[in-house]
Structure 1
Amino acid sequence: MTNSLKNRVIIVCVGLVLLTTVVSLFSFWWSTSQFNEKKVTQDINVAENVYKQYLTAKESLLLTAAKVLTSDFGFKQAVATRDADTISSVLYNHSQRINAELMLLLDLSGKLISSNKPNQEFSNDLEQMMNELLTNAEQSNFVVLDNDLYQVILLPVRAPRTIAYSLVGFKITDEVATELKNLTNMDVSFIAEQDELVRSSLLSRPSPFSPNDYFYQATTSRIFGEQVIYRNRNLHLASLEGHSVNVLLSADLTQSYTEFERLFFTIILLAALTIVIGVVASSLLANNLTMPLSQLANLARQFARGNYSVDSMSNKQSNEIKTLIDAFRNMGNDINEREQQISFAAKHDTLTGFYNRSAMLEVLNDSLAENQEYTLVAIDIKGLRHINDKLGPRVGDDCLKAVACRIAAFSDELGGFHARIGGDEFLTVFPTSSSLNLKRGISGLMAQLEAPYTLQKLKINLRFSAGVVTYPAQGTLADDLMRRVLIAVDGAADEHENIHHYQEGEDEEHLESLLIIDELKQAIAEDDGQLFMTYQPKLNMATQKIDKAESLIRWQRKNGSWVSPELFIDLAEQSGLIVELTEWVIATVVKQVGQWQQAGIFMQAAINVSAQDIAYPGFHANLLHVLKSNSVAPALITIELTERDMIENEEKGIQALENLKAIGVKISLDDYGVGQTSLGRLKMLPIDELKLDKCFILKLDQSEKDQFIVRSTITLGHQLGFSVVAEGVETRESLEILHDLKCDHIQGYYLSRPLKADLFEQWLEQYNELA
């Protein structure tokens, strides 16, 4: 019967209850621990505030009493005449009125003249104490006099010059500490360590009693092992040099442990009872299992969120407690307000107040209704970087805010919402039908945005690209919509359009590009043969020997498909992977040249690099390292760059190329003739070779204009000291023309297509035999 439905339900129910109980216990333990930790810290902070308010009130009372005493005309007259009886009587009466245990009159040298208690003498050095107290005039200090701790204040008696000093103080006793304990619900200990004096609210204490040892080391045995009883905070009080006084606030954790254990055993008991009920009445438990589980999960979530009520604190009616409650509530309000600010900042752009990208995804998920069509428009501000560079970032920020205001003015009225999803990119979403009826749709939005802006007395015209996606026709998920609208706005920029509507298939093309980038990264890291180099020979027209080859990378994916070099190299440049790819190419080609060299084949290999490679700081050092590791002379390596690379990185590129030439590496300018290199710039470039672009060579035998261009370029190159290479030679006639024009090297399919290293070696052997 073990396979019966009843037994299966019992097993499933009991198993779920056990699993839920374990998870709930752990969640309960974790959330309660976090809550208790925060609560104890808050209680100690509150106790510290109460203690400071208490001492401030005492200090205020001392200062008032001392000023009243020192301002009394009869008292000053008695002091001036040294009327001992009157002085003693005034000190005594005044101390009784304010309940001050200490009231002394000292002469200017610090000697005791009189006190509120007859025949009172002190073993302390009153002169030194008075001198230290005078440095903090009208501020209370804690001092030890004859093994008693006082909070005192010292004021001069002037008539009108200072004729004496009045010292007024309250005694700090165990009762005072107990009073503070009643206010703060935690033990208070005043410690004068140098004077070996302790006043504490812990009345039942061991002998000898050291608060620092006792409160920090006292432990209690609980179900989870030994736990400390007290959480402490030590505060320094204003006191005399060499006689420091501290107050130790100690929160008793025993009640927290007890409450935790009581709740823990309650949950254990409830879990056991639930299991028994489940075994006895499995069908009933199966129907009602979700309720107790839901309650337990909700209880765990409440504890984890720290959702605890503090209304019970309002039962206290004393003024001090009311003040404390108000301060506590104010603190809670402040924390709540800060949390709201943090929450707002986490979801909104600080400059414009729009949603940020992550928040916009959530809003899209929650706001888009199935029965409503929406238009998503991604807006890119063209040339904002130039505004920042020329007019300053403040004007740039003003532009962003002004654009945001116009987007909001357009979209808010339609019931739409908007976000800033990039440095100069915005996204607005609005109902399609409303926008067409009220504001002419996307064209109305673009017209509103492209109207001139007046910022800081400047009239600025901004240009925009917009990408458009419609919901639900072109996507229903927020991630898909966001990705596709960004693809659309990139398409607008790439195709130089003002507005580009997303077309089916663009997303798949984008995802395929991401997949290619990811697979390319793996292919470089694993070096499993997907990537390999081919070599296209170059014929030396003067010697009719093959002494050079251009290395060309190829990629065949694991699924057998080929990826065009133009495609994956372009994606590598966009993704920043080009540096790693070039390092792999350099390592592979230099290693191959070294192997050829060992086999007696001395072949100069050309390596194509990009602008990012030249700008990379480690390019030069890496090339040197690879050459040295493979014992290859730098002269056997040629670095090929296009005109575009040279123009985009002219200053940095020229310096990098000069550094390469300094170690003996050859430099070639690839695709010459189709770029924008001027003759003046060509004269400055540190190159050794010009490569004529194949567009001039493919039909050289059929085009007289191409022949004129090639002839003049070869002549110019030779006059500037460059060798000239023609690529794309596919006919015998073109080869003969280039020979007549004294071109130095040629390469092309007429000679050979690019070959793998082993096939290149076989081809080279056959060529040399025929030659």
Structure 2
Amino acid sequence: MKTLVNKIFTTFVTVLLLVQIVSFGFAYQANKRVEVLKLTNQITTADTVFKNLFESRNYYLEAFSETAAKDYGLKQVFNEDTRSFLVALNNHKKRIDADIAIAVSKQYQVVGQLLSIERNGKKKTSVGEDQGKEFRHPEWLELPGQSYIYHLNEALYQISFSPLKSGEVIVGWVGFGYAIDKSLVEEISMQTGLHAAIVSKKNTSANWHLVASSEQQTETESLINSLLSNSNNEEMVITKHTIEDNGYQVIAVMYDFRSDILGTVKNQSMNLMLFASISILASMLGAFFIAKTITRPVNKLIEQTRVISKGNYDQSVEIDDIKELAQLASEFKMMQQAVLAREKDISHRVFHDPLTDLPNRNRLMYFLEIQLQEKEPRLALALLNVRRIRDVNDTLGHNVGDQVIKEVSRRLTKLNNENVFHLGSDEFALVWLDNNDDFIQDQIKRIFGVLDKPFTYHDIALHLQVQIGVAFNNPDNETAINLLQKTDTALHNARKSNHHYQIYDRLLDFYTIERLHLVNSLKSAFTENQLVLYYQPKLDLRASKITSVEALVRWLHPVNGLIPPDTFIPIAEQTGQMNALTKWVIEEAANQYTKWQKDDINLSIAINISAEDLRNDELITFLLALKNAKKLPDEAIALEVTENAVLSDPKLAIKLLARLQKSGFRISIDDYGTGYSSLEQLKILPVDELKIDKSFVQNLMMDKDDQTIVDSTISLAHNMNLSVVAEGVEDLETLAWLQARHCQYAQGYYVSRPLPAEKLTSWLPSFEGLKIKEKCHD
């Protein structure tokens, strides 16, 4: 017969074992899912990294070959002096550290082929063996703007061509490329954490030839052939990408042992088993101790019964422990209920926002992961940002701001009761289980409609305004984190563009990585002399001579090459470096003016001033001090400011511009016609000149409306005693039309492209003294 201790012990142990087995089963299944997820993520990450790396090389080669093809110096020596052309071609090749540069004539002959060959640890440039031969792939040249795989001996190059044009006539092509070699696969291996290799073969061949590998060459070639011939190898994880398949196959292979990738997960499983074993042993000891404790009152009763059986009747038989056991059971039950209530409260707090009691970010991520696991998930995620909450908090207090957030929460809940989430502060999220465009547009309209009515708090009417970013899930490969990131990008773009809402597009964050690199390296551009000024001449239509130039800053990046101002000036504005950039331009332009004066060259230099510069008294002081220190005459420096820069703070802008004008600087309104300034504002602005924006000039001879606008602007400026500059002049007819209407100055590619100071200095003598017609036929 079993004792009570044994029964209690057996019951406890049985329950504990069942719990441990069930827990271990769930943990085992979870680990299996983690293994699958880890392998999937590893392959997905590897695929993404390879595509981004290869496409970034492709994009960079395309951009640079197009830039090089526009080089006037390269065109000039293309069909004249082979040695000079090869030197110029090599200089371009060095700028991006290319491994190959090729020039092809219009007759498809290779007129220049330069290769970078490593000898004794140093790269040397040599002429390729295809020099002087017929180009093997003329079909590539008919489709510029793409990259191709170029075979030379046993080497492979990723190359992109762009046409060299004289006017609109193609005179040849230039291409630049990077070698597909060990450095590429080592970069792939480093970023993906997998072994990487590039292999190739002819379509008629059975075996793959190893081009480059991150591992030992001989071992890798046999392994790759084995993996590619046996795709069901369960010991390895492999992913591959076809680089070329045109009679000759080239593929990139990334692979690793499954056990190496899952080593951490396996260790976790072993630790889990060890922990489960220790838990079971500890539980058995605990169960035995509890059984003994519970049966102690019964044992006491047995002992007392034995005492009585021996004839000892003086000791009464009393079991006070029974009440304690009852009380213990009652307390245990109360404790269980309290623990359960606390767990529910904690769980609710983990997945809900304390202010609005809406599901929070944790709940949103869990919900998205569940939905994205469906067979064909169709959903859209929207992020809403409540505007000007900080103003409400600062003006009326945080308690009023909280009430605004609660009101937004109530209205959104009425609109979509099930899938509204409060991510914290002033940000909400909505999930729609449908990504039809019409449906989404209708939902966005409903959001603005439900929030349109002002929220009244203590007789104060507060307008509820939001900006929305929306993203759709990618049915093929999407995670909750990626979807949320895309939605956040769309919301950020809506804020930046001051739009009510923005649907995510891949182009919104296409340049994010490149922009981050530029942000990090812009500051060093000042100290490392990477900035340079180009000067675009302005033609005086009355004297038919160049009397002034506009200073335009360029960034000669050591890796990315020539970066246009449209790319890095917004970065300078956003990172607080605009004033430093403007000071550099002013000082460099002043030095160049002084140098030209010594060479008997009299050119006024126009400098662009931003909206941020107009808010900086220190910059004004710097300008005046520089003028005095270098003893610059009044005509030396002109300042160009856009309409929008003035309109950002008209009173301050007028005050500062008037101060500069009084100090002798000529003031010009740049891009006139693109802003929203009124005639009243133009009348009071202290300006000397209007620059008509190129958008009205470039198609002047084909657009009657543009002619009307330009003609009236010239008349208006003359009536206000202002001189006029026409930007974007690109043909003789436009130049003659402007001269006939007494426009004082013309600027554009027809006169000259922006040039470095040295080239402009040598260009001026060939232009000076010529009549307009002669210049145009030159």
Q: TM-score, normalised by structure 2?
A: 0.47
